Structure 1
Amino acid sequence: MTGLAFASVPLYDLFCKATGYDGTPRVGTAPMASADTASAKALRVHFDTNVAPNLTWRFQPEVTSVDAVPGETKTVFFKVTNTGSKPATGIAAFNVQPGLMGSYFVKVECFCFSEHTLQPGESADYPLVFYVDKGLRKDPDIGDLGEMTLSYTYFASRNGSPQVAAEGKGTGAGTRTNF
């Protein structure tokens, strides 16, 4: 039973990535352009960035939001800076709100779930390439919504896994930027 419990975590993660369950965006390839894209109602995508308390980074999007027409590919860059005095390694996790939108948010290229190491004072720009699936507008529960939020949190990481600060042992308060 214990082995099954540990095995279920990666399977659940794969299920969420494939279906968009619980606000997890799907991973896919860029859609083919079509004439009906121009007539689709745009959706405002907001970006929320956060840094865990045990990571001395500043993290922000180049823009606070974009208007995305379903089926149209968008690219947004995020700037990350190590404000600490030592090299630091981080990994970003994300979600989409409202959660039901996750199955329609498709990442073509993303910096999330990849470790990045920055030297003191070093900055890097990471791209997010995405589109909102055209099927969103046909969904009776959320098809008429006009906004969604993509939220990222950078965590200190080791060997590809986020490291959560021990209770009371963080390096300071976390940074949250809401846009």
Structure 2
Amino acid sequence: MASAPADLKRRNRRVSAYAIAGALFMLALGFAAVPLYRMFCQVTGFQGTTQRATAEQAAGIKVSPVTISVRFDGNVDRDLPWAFAPVQVTQTVHLGARTLAVYTAKNLSERAIVGRASFNVSPDDAGKYFSKIQCFCFTEQTLQPGEEVRMPVTYYVDPAILDDPEARDIKQITLSYVFHEDKSAVPAKAGKPAS
């Protein structure tokens, strides 16, 4: 009978080890969820996440005679004292053609502010075909008091959109940005923001 308590102790230790391992796994999964979700969205274009391309990748895309309308939208968080808007609200572009769009941003406050843009594309099915080569949204933007800047976006719409039954009938894509203040960042000294 002396072995029964020893077996019970061994089983309790095993159950405790499994419980601790499970808790550590869930904790690690919690930390990994955001980067994994972001990676999933970038690969699949899920929920309008755009793709990022290099100039070399863009050079390999064949330009199609088919055109699509791209609409630009610019917003700021209600706590951010900036004016932000596209210079041109719509562009008609050939699929595969590298195109430049420009936004303007102005700091309406009396202090330097660091902003960061979040973005998406709609309809969602177009996200995996909308590739940005250069974008102000890739970095923080510091605007000094009263400073106004032009912010370029170089992009293309992949002609592969025509092969996707879910996306081939899309006639207009909307690229939307929202600027938020990055309160954890230290504003850079006077100078132009990175583009």
Q: TM-score when scaled to structure 1?
A: 0.83
- Structure with the bigger RCO (C-alpha within 8 Å, sep 6+) is 1
CA contact (8 A) 2:136 2:153 kept: yes
CA contact (8 A) 2:64 2:96 kept: no
Shift of the alpha carbon at 1:129?
0.4
Find 2:172's aligned residue among 128, 141, 147.
Answer: 147
In structure 2, the partner of 1:117 is 142
Shift of the alpha carbon at 1:14?
1.6
In structure 2, the partner of 1:43 is 68
Q: Which amino acid aligns with 2:170?
A: L
CA distance in 2, matches of 1:122, 1:50: 18
In structure 2, the partner of 1:173 is none
Q: Runs of 4+ in structure 1 displaced over 6 angstroms?
A: none
Matched, 1:61 2:96: no
CA distance in 2, matches of 1:67, 1:150: 13
Shift of the alpha carbon at 1:103?
0.3
CA distance in 1, matches of 2:151, 2:86: 9
CA distance in 1, matches of 2:132, 2:169: 22
**Residue-pair matches, total:** 158
Shift of the alpha carbon at 1:114?
1.5
CA distance in 2, matches of 1:28, 1:37: 15
CA RMSD of aligned residues (A): 1.6
Note the residue ranges of structure 1 that are not aligned, 5 or more in a row: 161-179
Shift of the alpha carbon at 1:145?
1.5
Shift of the alpha carbon at 1:99?
0.4
Note the residue ranges of structure 2 that are not aligned, 5 or more in a row: 1-25, 186-195
Q: What SS does the corresponding residue of 1:37 show, helix, strand or coil? A: coil
CA distance in 2, matches of 1:27, 1:71: 14
Render the CA deviation track for 1:75-113: whole Å, top value 9, x for unaligned: 111111001121111100000000010000001011114
CA distance in 1, matches of 2:179, 2:108: 14
CA distance in 1, matches of 2:139, 2:79: 18
Equivalences for 1:1-179 in 2 at 5 Å?
1-30=26-55, 31-32=58-59, 37-39=63-65, 41-159=66-184
Specify which structure has the higher proportion of helix.
2
Shift of the alpha carbon at 1:159?
3.7
CA distance in 1, matches of 2:157, 2:131: 6
Shift of the alpha carbon at 1:38?
4.6
CA contact (8 A) 2:64 2:159 kept: no
CA contact (8 A) 1:75 1:128 kept: yes
CA distance in 2, matches of 1:43, 1:5: 40
CA distance in 1, matches of 2:89, 2:112: 28
Pick which of 109-118 and 90-99 moved more.
Answer: 109-118
